[in-house]
Every structure is written in structure tokens, then in C-alpha cells.
């Protein structure tokens, strides 16, 4: 369908700065046409979310003008945006947990003192059937899955009469099957004349869903192209601004020795709910073991149990087999003790600043984190970490004003380089990474893949928890799939398909179910 050429929203010279040094949006001029699905594509930090936050009233532009249906407007708050028919679905949902779906939808709508839930519910169901949503108006939020909450946010925006919908990275939290469902309703909405803007950095999705792609790079508007004229490679080049190689290497594993053996690992979280159940697997040196699963399926607890940060339930076995052939149990050991035992285990956690690094400290002090206790004096020795910081800055091209600048001030990619650099500097024999490329730009992601492959070739047992199935299938040697805290399958990544993995992410195979019951 060819988009009608009437711009519903026009942005003229929009500039937004955060402080004097950061220009999030630099003089952006672009149009959004009625009845189209526009994908706003750009790497992390290219200013996509900032730009659309100005449309939805979260931010206010420093300069520039916004026209909605030809009229110069000034959007000062989400309420103004709502009056203009602009609704935004944020990455982090803004819902009241103890309310029902219907209550959340009418929350904050000024329709007099008496709440008429009955009519509201009727209208909600009308909207649902019109576009193909599945929603139970009486369901409480805390009973909902992530994808249901997202659906609810969209219905909420439609209920309020939005005809321009902005979705900020809507597929980041969805399984392939849920994504497909979402795309169907997006198409339905477009066919009903709504305008949809999707923020994303996933190229396949852009090609699948959008009518037109607008590309931002480093805060600037680069160009927009009809999706039918675009390819994955052409879009990447516009996004990155240079030619890139989109292939991930996968060297054949060599000299595989058993390095880590996990048997019957179960684990409860702080609320005493079992988050890991009877996990059994082996990790070998010289291979990359990918771990797939919907986020929050026990990936975090699995890695943390091995790293000595979670207390497994009794009966579990985590054995580290050193290259010399010595067996060491890691159960009940703190990270400090594991280090003292001579086990070189590196861990790149999901929460980089909140767990892997100290945000208020510079690179030098962060290098000290695992080695500060060395030496017999009560004083810290910063000379080696200074050298290490300089070296990592140079080797991995970390962009920072100085090695003393708090790492919190660095961009996500540079933060990850600092963390990975430190973890690799201890020449690990086991390397665990959780969502190592989340939020990173394409170039940095490939730097990380290259580093992981280097480690693999050095004979390190690499455990790679990932979310992008394409990457998992391209990088790993074997893939362990988690579903609800259990292992639903271990596949050979060279032969497995995306659909197979996607299926295992949401289903435990029956023969395994039966096996569990027997035990």
C-alpha cells in the first residue's frame, strides 16, 4: 500500500541537548505520513527515543518546531500529546500493578467524577475485536505476561483516541511468536488508518513490518527510504555510516575438555520461589555454549550460582575441572574464595553498572575491583590497574575523556568494553557473559563477538547468554534453551533453526516432562 502523502506530523529543525556536550538530536527535520508504519532506525544513542519523547511530551525541544496536521504546536506534557492524538508505548510499561486492565485504561481520563467501568469495558472490547487484540478487561496487571502488558498499553493509547502510535523497541521483550502476533495487530491498525512509528535497531523487523524507514545516526537525520527499496546491508550502512561485515565467525572447536559440570542445580529467589529447577549441563573448553530463553527464565540465577553469588538448593553439584585435571566444587563458595582457589572464572553480568562496575569510579578504580585485596599492606596499589586501564583503553578503543572519568558517564558500549576488558585481563578459563551486546551499537557488538571467539580459540569455556536468536545461532557451538527455569533442550547450533529454539523457549518437550515425573 502506498502511503498517502499527507504528513500528520512534521518536525522542523528539532534540536535537543543534554548539557552542552551531548547533542541527542541535532536539527532534525522529517515528516511522518498518515496511515504508514514508519520504522525509526538507528543505533543505541542515536537519539531515536529522545526524538519521539519530544512528540509524546516527555522532553521539550531546545529549538525547532513541531507541526501536527499542519498546525504549529507545543507539546509540554504527555497530556498535550494525548490531546493531539499521539500515544507512546514506552519500553518500561507504566501500569498500576494491583489494578485490572480496564482500570488501568481509564486511569487519568477526565470523564467526570463517576467512573463508568461498564461502558469503558464495552469500548475496550470493541477496540480489541476491531484490531485483533486479546485482552481480558478484568485481569489484574500482576497476572499478565510482558506481552499482555504491552498489548494493554497499546489498547490504552487507542482508547484515548490516539491515531499516531509510537512504539519504543516493542519487540525487545517478546518471543518470536509474540512478535509475529504484535506485527499482525500493527498491520491491522495501519489498515484502519492509524499511523504507527516503531523505534528499533533490529533490521529484520524493519524489513518485515515497516512501509518506510527513517534513519538516525549520532543525533542527525540521515535519510528515509521506502522499505521495499532497502536491504539489510544498505540500512546498516546508513545506520553506521560505513561499510560493515555482517557475518559472525564460528571457528571449529578445538581441544574440547570438560571444564564445568553442573548437575541438578535448583535455586530459589528471595521470595522463596523456585527459579531454577534441576539444571544439568556441561561446558567444554574451546567452545561457546549459548543459553537462550525468554528474559527472566533463570539465566541470571544460573550464572550467579556458578559465580558464587546465589545459594543453590542442597543436592546441587557445580564442579570445576581445571586444565590440570583437578576437580573443585564451587558450591557454597563466595567469589573471593573461588578466586583464592585459583579458579579463573570471569563473569560479565547483565547489569553492567549495577553489578559489574562501580559507576562513580573511573576505569582505574574499576580495574581494582577484583584485585584490590592483593598485597600485604593495608593500602591499595593502583599502579597495575592504571597500566591495565591504559591498555584496555587502547586495545578496545574505549572512548573516555580520561581513565579517571566515572564510568557512569561513558556510553553503554564503552562501559561494556571496560567491563569485558577487565574480565578478560585475568586470563579466565571459564568466561560467562549475560546479554553481552544488549544496547550496544553494531560495531561494538562485533568487537564483543570477536573477543569471545578469541577466547574460545584460546581454549576458554565460554557461556554466552543471549537474546537475539540469530546471533545465538550464528555464534554458539551448542545452545542450551531455558524455559521457566528448566532446561528444555540442548541443541547443536549448527543445525538448529530459529523456530526450534523459539518453540523450546516456551515449551518443555513431553518426553522430558515424563522423565522429570519419573524422578
Partner 1 sequence: MKNSKIAHEPLFHITKRPPMSKLSAFSVRIGAFFAALILSALFVLITIGIDPWTFIKTMIKGAFGVPGAEKADSFSAFWSIFSKDSYFWITLKTACKLLLIAVALAPAFKMRFWNIGAEGQLLAGGMGAAFLMFNYGTLPVYILLPLMLIVSIVCGAVWAVIPAVFKAKFNTNETLFTLMMNYIAMKIVDYFYNLWRGPMSALGMINPSTNAGWLRSIWSGKEAAWFRNEDLIFMFIIILITVLMYLYLRFTKQGYEIAVVGDSQNTAKYAGISVNKVMLRTMAISGAICGLCGFLCVSSQSHTITSTLGNGYGFTAIIVAWLSKFNTFVMVGVSILIVALENGSMLMANTYGDLGFSPASAKIIVGVMLLLIIGCEFFINYKLAFRSRAAKKEEVTE
Pick the closer one to partner 1 by CB: 351 or 513: 351
Task: Tell me the window of 25-33, 72-80, 288-296, 489-497 that interacts with partner 1 (CB under 8 A).
Answer: 72-80
| Contact assessment for residue 86 and residue 55, using Cβ atoms and an 8 Å cutoff | yes
Pick the closer one to partner 1 by CB: 246 or 340: 340
Q: Convert residues 300-329 into a mask of x (bound to partner 1 by CB under 8 A) and - (unbound).
A: -------xxx--------------------
- Residue 453 near partner 1 by CB under 8 A: no
Minimum CB distance to partner 1, residue 411 (Å):
15
Task: Tell me the window of 182-190, 250-258, 351-359, 461-469 that interacts with partner 1 (CB under 8 A).
Answer: 351-359
| Contact assessment for residue 417 and residue 377, using Cβ atoms and an 8 Å cutoff | no
> How deeply is 331 buried, as exposed, middle or buried, from its count of CB atoms within 10 A (0-12, 13-18, 19+)?
middle
- Residue 361 near partner 1 by CB under 8 A: yes
Minimum CB distance to partner 1, residue 80 (Å):
6
| Contact assessment for residue 460 and residue 430, using Cβ atoms and an 8 Å cutoff | yes
Q: 197 - beta bridge partners?
A: 38, 166
Q: How many CB atoms lie within 10 A of CB 45?
A: 19
Nearest to 434 by CA among 320, 296, 337: 296
Q: What is the C-alpha to C-alpha distance for residues 103 and 138, in angstroms, rounded to an integer?
A: 8
Pick the closer one to partner 1 by CB: 80 or 467: 80
Q: What is the C-alpha to C-alpha distance for residues 493 and 256, in angstroms, rounded to an integer?
A: 16
- Residue 369 near partner 1 by CB under 8 A: yes
Q: What is the C-alpha to C-alpha distance for residues 129 and 147, in angstroms, rounded to an integer?
A: 18
Pick the closer one to partner 1 by CB: 260 or 368: 368
- Residue 365 near partner 1 by CB under 8 A: yes
Which residues, 6+ apart, have CB-to-CB distance to 88 below 8 Å? 52, 53, 55, 56, 58, 78, 81, 157, 165, 166, 167, 168
Task: Tell me the window of 156-164, 207-215, 290-298, 344-352 that interacts with partner 1 (CB under 8 A).
Answer: 344-352
- Residue 204 near partner 1 by CB under 8 A: no
Task: Tell me the window of 162-170, 257-265, 350-358, 427-435 that interacts with partner 1 (CB under 8 A).
Answer: 350-358
Q: Name the pairing type of β-strands 486-492 and 478-483.
A: antiparallel
Q: How many CB atoms lie within 10 A of CB 425?
A: 19
- Residue 341 near partner 1 by CB under 8 A: no
Nearest to 185 by CA among 144, 155, 146: 155
Question: Left, alpha or beta for 132 (phi > 0: left; psi -120 to 50: alpha)?
Answer: left
Q: 261 - beta bridge partners?
A: 282, 319
Minimum CB distance to partner 1, residue 19 (Å):
3
Out of 1, 13, 29, 74, the residue judged to bind partner 1 by CB under 8 A = 74
Q: Convert residues 374-403 into a mask of x (bound to partner 1 by CB under 8 A) and - (unbound).
A: ----xxx-----------------------
Cα diameter, the chain: 75
Out of 12, 17, 181, 187, the residue judged to bind partner 1 by CB under 8 A = 17
Q: What is the C-alpha to C-alpha distance for residues 265 and 301, in angstroms, rounded to an integer?
A: 10
Minimum CB distance to partner 1, residue 82 (Å):
11
Out of 6, 129, 231, 373, the residue judged to bind partner 1 by CB under 8 A = 373
Footprint of partner 1 (CB under 8 A) = 17-22, 60, 62-63, 71-76, 80, 83-84, 307-309, 334-339, 347, 349, 351, 353-361, 365, 368-370, 372-373, 378-380
Amino acid at each position: 500500500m502506498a502511503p498517502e502523502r499527507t504528513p500528520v506530523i512534521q518536525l522542523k529543525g528539532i534540536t535537543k541537548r543534554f548539557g552542552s556536550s551531548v547533542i541527542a538530536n541535532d536539527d532534525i527535520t522529517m515528516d511522518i505520513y498518515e496511515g504508514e508504519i514508519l520504522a525509526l532506525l538507528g543505533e543505541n544513542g542515536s537519539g531515536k527515543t529522545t526524538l519521539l519523547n519530544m512528540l509524546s511530551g516527555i522532553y521539550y525541544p531546545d529549538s525547532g518546531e513541531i507541526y501536527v496536521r499542519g498546525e504549529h504546536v507545543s507539546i509540554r506534557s504527555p497530556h498535550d500529546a494525548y490531546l493531539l492524538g499521539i500515544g507512546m508505548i514506552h519500553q518500561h510499561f507504566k501500569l498500576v500493578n494491583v489494578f485490572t486492565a480496564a482500570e488501568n485504561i481509564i486511569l487519568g481520563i477526565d470523564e467526570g467524577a463517576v467512573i463508568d467501568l461498564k461502558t469503558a469495558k464495552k469500548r475496550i472490547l470493541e477496540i480489541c475485536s476491531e484490531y485483533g487484540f486479546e485482552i481480558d478487561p478484568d485481569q489484574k496487571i500482576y497476572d499478565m505476561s510482558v506481552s499482555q502488558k504491552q498489548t494493554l498499553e497499546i489498547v490504552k493509547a487507542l482508547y484515548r483516541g490516539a491515531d499516531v502510535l509510537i512504539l519504543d523497541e516493542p519487540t525487545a521483550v517478546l518471543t518470536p511468536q509474540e512478535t509475529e502476533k504484535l506485527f499482525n495487530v500493527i498491520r491491522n491498525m495501519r489498515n484502519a488508518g492509524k499511523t504507527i512509528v516503531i523505534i528499533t535497531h533490529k533490521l529484520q523487523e524493519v524489513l518485515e513490518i515497516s512501509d518506510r524507514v527513517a534513519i538516525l545516526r549520532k543525533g542527525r537525520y540521515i535519510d528515509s527510504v521506502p522499505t521495499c527499496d532497502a536491504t539489510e546491508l544498505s540500512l546498516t550502512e546508513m545506520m553506521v555510516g560505513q561499510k560493515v561485515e555482517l557475518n559472525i565467525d564460528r571457528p571449529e572447536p578445538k581441544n574440547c575438555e570438560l571444564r564445568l559440570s553442573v548437575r541438578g542445580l535448583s535455586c530459589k529467589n528471595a521470595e522463596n520461589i523456585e527459579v531454577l529447577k534441576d539444571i544439568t549441563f556441561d561446558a567444554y573448553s574451546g567452545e561457546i555454549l549459548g543459553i537462550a530463553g525468554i528474559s527472566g527464565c533463570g539465566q541470571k540465577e544460573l550464572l550467579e550460582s556458578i559465580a558464587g553469588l546465589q545459594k543453590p538448593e542442597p543436592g546441587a553439584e557445580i564442579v570445576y575441572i581445571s586444565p590440570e585435571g583437578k576437580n573443585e566444587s564451587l558450591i557454597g563458595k563466595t567469589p573471593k574464595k573461588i578466586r583464592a582457589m585459583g579458579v579463573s572464572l570471569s563473569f560479565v553480568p547483565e547489569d553492567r553498572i549495577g553489578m559489574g562496575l562501580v559507576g562513580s569510579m573511573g576505569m582505574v578504580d574499576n580495574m581494582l575491583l577484583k584485585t584490590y585485596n592483593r598485597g600485604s599492606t593495608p593500602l591499595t596499589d593502583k599502579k597495575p590497574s592504571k597500566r591495565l586501564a591504559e591498555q584496555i583503553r587502547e586495545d578496545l578503543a574505549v572512548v573516555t575523556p580520561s581513565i579517571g572519568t566515572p564510568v557512569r558517564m561513558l556510553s553503554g558500549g564503552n562501559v561494556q568494553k571496560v567491563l569485558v576488558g577487565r574480565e578478560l585481563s585475568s586470563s579466565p578459563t571459564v568466561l560467562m557473559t549475560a546479554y553481552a551486546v544488549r544496547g550496544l551499537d553494531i560495531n561494538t557488538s562485533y568487537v564483543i563477538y570477536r573477543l569471545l571467539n578469541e577466547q574460545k580459540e584460546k581454549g576458554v569455556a565460554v557461556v554466552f547468554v543471549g537474546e537475539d536468536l540469530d546471533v545465538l545461532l550464528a555464534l554458539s557451538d551448542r545452545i542450551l534453551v531455558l524455559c521457566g527455569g528448566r532446561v528444555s533442550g540442548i541443541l547443536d547450533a549448527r543445525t538448529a533453526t530459529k523456530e526450534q529454539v523459539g518453540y523450546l523457549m516456551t515449551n518443555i518437550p513431553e518426553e522430558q516432562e515424563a522423565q522429570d515425573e519419573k524422578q
